[in-house]
A = this chain, B = another copy of it.
Amino acid sequence: MIVLLKSNLDEASPEFQQTFSFLSQLPGIEVRLHQVRGAEQVLSEIYLIGSTKRLSTDEIATLPGVERVVRVSEEYRILGRHRDDRRAVGFEYNGVTFSQDTLNVFAGLCAVDSRESVEAMMTALEENGQPCTRMGAYKPRSNPYSFQGHGKTCLSYVFELAGRHGIRVIAMEITHESHLDEIRTALQETGWPTGVLIQIGTRNIQNFELLKAVGRQNDFPVLLKRGFGITLNESLNAAEYLASEGNSRVVFCLRGMKTHLGDPHRNFVDFSHVPVVKRLTRMPVGIDPSHSVGSRDRAPDGILDIMHVTSQGVAAGANLVLVDFHPDPQKALVDGPQALKREELPWFLEDVRLARECYERRHRLARSFQDTAPTPGGLTGV
């Protein structure tokens, strides 16, 4: 059960104190305070966890400072969509908005290999008006003897170059909670020239200790990659770990599933789940076409599979695209064969734009058939 408090209610106020105290004394109920900082106001929500079935929402709604009470289903309490759920969807970070209505492209390097590559990539992004990028410093590799990324040694120049080229948000994977400090430190030392969207990879989707550590901080929002070998339900529960610890600024990213049924693609592309995740949760939904496809194969129409599946995700409403580029794919230390080339960036961006335009037209079309569409705010099939 979620108790939404009136906006900007001070924790020291008697209303807050009285309500929080009352709720804390309910037997068999754990109470967690969760604060969402928006652009202009702070929203406080109190989560009641445990045997809430016998609680009366009407009674709790009469407590001082309470705006509204939402009874949530068992799953995805914080990030999920629930009946009569009018909580906000999405967030803003360092000037970039992430929601179920927006689209941001994060083109960049799968793994940072040299300052030259970073500079070349960021120059290309600036030339193409792109404020976001991906840059991998910590790389989890299946084989212990493979290149594991440059780690913290590359952070300073990555952040400096980002600032110089107008990059506002960098998606960067971490594999250990200590990397949070390393990133924070490097940002401080370089004067916070950019923002970081902390990425948690598919192999760590059920590394609950890492999820909890990232969930406990609020400096950075999170991009969580779906687990490639578990059910969607289990991956969404993993996202909920982040939120249950306090950080609900989470983008959920599809990246292909591990099964031979997807051959010859590296993974079975799962972008048909874009509308599903938007229906089940309030998270913006990203797609990673590079790791899904894993090659530069192209159809007889001359279009790369990576671009085809990107357009599939975007045409169905995806909100973020994470894609590997490299100034010289032959020399990339990780996943070179699947990287797009720097000179393909304008094509890729224009291709994405066409797919997004298609989605927007389809959305307008759906609204024009209002009688068959659900009433605003309501949801069917949940």
Contact = CB atoms under 8 A, between A and B. Distances in A.
Nearest to A89: B300
A351 B372 contact: no
Contacts of A308: 272, 274-275, 316-317
Nearest to A367: B302
A373 B301 CA distance: 9
A312 interface: yes
A231 interface: yes
A145 B141 CA distance: 31
Contacts of A274: 299, 308
B144 A303 contact: no
A83 interface: no
Nearest to A238: B142
A143 interface: yes
Interface of A: 49, 74-75, 77, 81, 100, 140-145, 175-176, 203-204, 206-210, 227-234, 237-238, 240-241, 244, 257-265, 268-276, 278-279, 292-293, 295-303, 305, 307-309, 311-313, 315-317, 341, 343-344, 347, 350-351, 354-355, 357-358, 361-363, 365-367, 369, 372-374, 379-382
Given A206-B142, A312-B312, A365-B347, A317 B292 contact: no
A81 B302 contact: no
A355 B354 CA distance: 10
Contact of A269 (B75, B272, B379): B272
Copies in the complex: 4
22 contacts: A49-B145, A74-B145, A140-B208, A143-B240, A203-B206, A203-B208, A207-B207, A227-B229, A229-B229, A261-B270, A265-B276, A268-B268, A268-B270, A271-B312, A272-B305, A296-B380, A297-B380, A297-B381, A303-B362, A311-B316, A347-B372, A350-B365
Contacts of A362: 303, 307, 311, 351, 354-355
Nearest to A230: B229
A225 to B, nearest CB: 12
Indicate the member of A210, A229, A293, A366 with the most B CB atoms within 10 Å. Answer: A229
Contacts of A358: 311, 315, 354-355, 357-358
A328 B127 CA distance: 55
B292 A272 contact: yes
A355 to B, nearest CB: 6
Contact of A351 (B208, B312, B313, B365): B365
A237 B299 CA distance: 20
A278 B298 contact: no
A21 to B, nearest CB: 23
A204 B176 CA distance: 13
Contact of A366 (B144, B301, B317): B301
A278 B231 CA distance: 29
Given A270-B268, A300-B279, A305-B276, A231 B204 contact: no
Contacts of A355: 315, 358, 362
* Residue among A262, A300, A315 with max Cβ neighbours from chain B (10 Å): A300
A345 to B, nearest CB: 11
Contact of A175 (B208, B300, B301, B343): B208
Contact of A369 (B176, B265, B347): B347
Nearest to A309: B272
Contact of A372 (B209, B317, B344): B344
B347 A234 contact: no
